[in-house]
Amino acid sequence: MPSRPSPLTRARLRDLAACPRRFWLRYQRHMPWPAAPLPPAVEEKIEHGREFHRLMQRHFLELPPQSIPPQLAGFWEAWQRHPVRLPPGRRMPEITLTVPLGDQRLLARLDLLVLAEDGRALIVDWKTETNPRTRAQLQADIQTRLYPFVLAEGSSGLALPGGAADLERIEMIYWQANDAANAVRFPYSAEAHAASHEVLRALADQASSLVAAAEPPMVDKVTVCASCAYRTYCGRRVPPAPVTDWETDLEPAPELEPSR
């Protein structure tokens, strides 16, 4: 019996949408990612982002407060000055949801899920990148489709009063530490759900088709290769893109199943 494929996370879907060959090399062939180490300053900032996620998880679990590490003081001050105003209800930090789609499963790890008393379901995502993203950039990110879709499809397991989340009352909210006063909000709807289903189902079907596929061709758009370490496998002589920013990604490692 063939092994069950690992779920499609935000990172996997991004790779698949950018370059099916990259997805095939990384997740089907499990080829080592031959990237050079990131600059120490970037590695440090990534770790600070992870630490901030852990701090916010502790905060929303209402655990006893601890002293704020100096490297997180700016992020924490930004949250204190410009928090996302959240309605009363259940607050569930770092929750993982998985739902089936075609022959695949979709996985979303939500930084914070708020199930409000008034029936709203809010997904809050923390961003600690140096350069805040624009609304258009966030809207184009597959995460903005994936997370509300997975919540809508998997909400029946959350013991909601109505049994499942109302599509019109789901909202995705990005809080960016370096633009804390301007949280970016994306209301959901039945129309958005149908559009997301179409996009995500096409990607899921494409992932399934790559399981037994021969080696996919290289993409025509060579600019995609600049930020891909697999260009060395593909023989593409494209100068690497400079590392100017980062994104904290707390999804399960690509080759591992989620632990919860």
Query: Does 59 map to a domain?
Result: yes
Looking at the domain assignment, is residue 29 inside a domain?
Answer: no
Residue 187 lies in a domain: yes
- Cα–Cα distance, 114 to 120 (Å, whole number): 8
Q: pLDDT at position 259, please?
A: 32
User: Is residue 235 assigned to a domain?
Assistant: no
Asked if residue 180 is part of any domain, the answer here is: yes
Global confidence as pTM: 0.89
Position 230 in a domain:
no
pLDDT of residue 222: 82
Is residue 82 domain-resident? yes
CB neighbour burial string for 9-35, b if at least 16 within 10 angstroms, e if fewer: bbbbbbbbebbbbbbbbbbbeeeeeee
Determine the pLDDT at residue 159.
Answer: 61
- Return the number of other C-beta atoms located less than 10 Å from residue 227's C-beta: 14
DSSP string, 154-196: HGGGG--TTSS--GGGEEEEEEEGGGTT--EEEE--HHHHHHH
- Tell me, what CATH number does 162's domain have? 3.90.320
Average pLDDT across each block of 10 residues of the chain; the chain has 260 residues. List them in order. 78 93 90 76 88 95 88 96 96 95 95 93 95 95 97 80 78 97 97 97 94 82 82 79 54 38
Q: Which domain holds residue 136?
A: 37-200
Number of structural domains the chain divides into: 1
Q: Where are the beta strands (DSSP E) in the chain?
A: 89-101, 104-116, 121-127, 170-176, 184-187
Task: Look at residue 106 and give its three-state secondary structure.
Answer: strand
DSSP class of 82:
S
Instruction: Report which of 205, 252, 229 is spatially closest to residue 101, judged by C-alpha positions.
Output: 205
Q: Looking at the domain assignment, is residue 130 inside a domain?
A: yes
> According to the model, what pLDDT value does residue 19 have?
92
pLDDT of residue 253: 41
What's the confidence (pLDDT) of residue 81?
Answer: 98
Which pLDDT does position 250 carry in this prediction? 43
